Amino acid sequence: MTRLREEAEQLAAALPPLLADAGRLASSISLGIHGRRKAGSGESFWQFRRYASEDPAAAIDWRQSAKSQHLFVREREWEVAQAVWFWRDGSATMRFASQTANVSKIDRATVLLLALASLLSRGGERVGLLGGKHAPAYGRVGLQRLVHELTEARRPDDPLPPDAQTGRGAQLVWLSDFLSPPQDIRNVVLRLAAAGFTGHLVHIIDPAEEDFPFEGRVRFEALGRAESEIFGRAESVKALYTQRFRAHAEQVSSLARQFGWSYVAHRTDCSAASALATLYSAVGGDAVRRTA
């Protein structure tokens, strides 16, 4: 309990500046069209279209029709607020930050999570933390609850999302370095897809993890475990390592495609704004993308 309390206190101390960063990041992204626009019941005008025989006469917009030789129907935008759940991996490997990136994976994931939640809540979506005490909520209330529950996370070290029973019609944004065994990741995706979730896997990568820039005698230590390994010539294993890393990332990407989920890979030495724009677009529709 003491260790968990210390983890929570550290996270709580980090959240105010991260929240400020998220606010600035969200402000740099135009809301635009969220990707859910289609004809249906609602109050907002969407488009005019040509009258069809199955349309009721009351649907005709006579003012627009008077401008041409054809009859036109005014369509309204289909409006329904979605529930968007978030899960951010809080395991030890997420706290890694190389000199090239100068930002930890968990901090970048937190900023992206909060910025995306801010954009979605402004657009009328409900947001919440998977495994939290509260259901997704609208506006400022939903965002405040999300921040609070990130601080009070009961399982800060757990890399995998918990069980969820009410996912019908909901979306899940899962931010992680996905260094868990592939079968464990697959089992979670199977479970969440069966519960009715549409998912978005956000793969957070430190550049050193992908590029393996190490040379000479290097001691590698496992984060969160008392394990280490010394290589006399680290560059001698670079080819094999990078091959395995890319194969693992492809497994995660392929898993997303298999279930119709989106996959976004983001390096922490790249633009957070670019990642947010890509992710915001993905939540509005399926995508498999990599941010520059």
pLDDT at 123: 77
pLDDT of residue 165: 67
Cα distances from 37 to residues 71, 82, 84, 95, in angstroms, run 23, 13, 17, 38
- pTM of whole model > 0.85? no
Residue 49: helix, strand or coil by DSSP? strand
Q: Is 203:93 a contact under the CB 8 Å cutoff?
A: no
Rounded to the nearest angstrom, the gap between the alpha carbon of residue 175 and the centroid of all alpha carbons in its chain is 5
b/e per residue, 146-185, with b = 16+ CB within 10 A?
bbebbeebeebeebbbeebeebeebbbbbbbbbbbeeeeb
Given pLDDT bands bounded at 50, 70 and 90, which one contains residue 241?
Answer: very high
pLDDT for 126-148, tens place per residue?
Answer: 899 998 888 888 888 888 888 88
d(CA 143, CA 74): 35
Contact in structure between 110 and 275 (CB atoms under 8 Å): no
User: What whole-number distance in Å separates Cα of residue 254 and Cα of residue 178?
Assistant: 13
Delineate the domains of the chain, giving CATH numbers in brackets: 45-76 (no CATH), 80-290 (3.40.50)
Distances (CA, A) of 28 to 106, 116, 271, 277: 21, 12, 12, 9
